[in-house]
Amino acid sequence: MNCKVIMFDYIGTLVEPRNYALEASKRKLHRALCEAGLKSQREEFMKAYAEAHEKYRRIRYEELREVTNAVWVSETLNKIRCKTDGEDPRLKAALNVFFQAFIDSLNLRPNAKKLIAVAAEHCRVGLVSNFTYAPAIYASLRKLGINQYFNAVLVSEGVGWRKPHKIIFREALRILRAKAEETIFIGDSPTEDIEGAKALGMKAIFVESRFNTVADLQKCGVKPDLTIRDLKEISDNFPKLVQTMNICSG
């Protein structure tokens, strides 16, 4: 069996936000919308935004259907008598402002770049990320200097479905021209990454992160093919590790 593809989760697995303040970004979003002519009172906006966000959060996590931020921001504005829709270019401009601080907060985890580069020497490399605004992911990959290593980048906003739904994994396999049994998925979420990947027959490596610990993995009852605490464990031993998982690189 040949390992043709290595797939990575992104946030938590390869990168982590540091010193990110969501409330400050929400205030910047409101200010950007007002400056674009979509004026509202801040308190009224924030209340309506929280309600719309919660509505679509349930859809996203319960149905695994991805919903982009523009949908609930436009719903927020319409609720407070500010007519717009999800295709309004002013929303995209404001969302770029909203996400800039998050992009700036992302830092590569130790040994992440080394691992991606080593994987790219042996296999095709893919990124599969649950995120509501794909431009933020693409911008951060460029900022961190790792976009060139990926043969495919799939963001749930663009696919329409979130991990662990099979559709987003199948689409990644299709684009990367590989079968599930020829693929290793590396991620930090027991359900979204490990359970999702293994449901399609991929090998799966769980990497502990600030968001998900080994204890969290054990509570979920999900069993990866390999559990590690540090990306260095993979980056320093990539060919040998692949062999121990009954997949031969080449």
Q: From residue 6, how far is each of 102, 149, 154 by CA, in Å?
A: 26, 11, 13
pLDDT band at 2 (very low <50, low <70, confident <90, very high): low
Please state, rounded to an integer, the average pLDDT across all residues of the chain: 94
The SS3 assignment for 9 reads: coil
The SS3 assignment for 5 reads: strand
pLDDT tens by residue, 36-50 = 999 999 999 999 999
Half-sphere CA count of 155, side-chain side, radius 13 A: 16
CB contact at 8 A, 152 and 172: yes
Task: Give backbone dihedrals phi and psi of 82, rounded to 5 degrees, phi first.
Answer: -125, 95
CB contact at 8 A, 32 and 90: no
State the pLDDT at residue 249.
Answer: 41
Distance CA 14, CA 8 (A): 8
pLDDT band at 247 (very low <50, low <70, confident <90, very high): low
Which residues pair with residue 247 across a beta bridge?
none
State the pLDDT at residue 76.
Answer: 97
CB contact at 8 A, 174 and 196: no
pLDDT band at 250 (very low <50, low <70, confident <90, very high): very low
Centre a 10 Å sphere on the Cβ of residue 22 and count the other Cβ atoms it contains.
Answer: 11
Distance CA 71, CA 56 (A): 9
pLDDT band at 245 (very low <50, low <70, confident <90, very high): confident
CB contact at 8 A, 207 and 186: yes
pLDDT tens by residue, 67-105 = 999 999 999 999 999 999 989 999 999 999 999 999 999
Q: How far is C-alpha 73 from the chain's CA centre?
A: 20
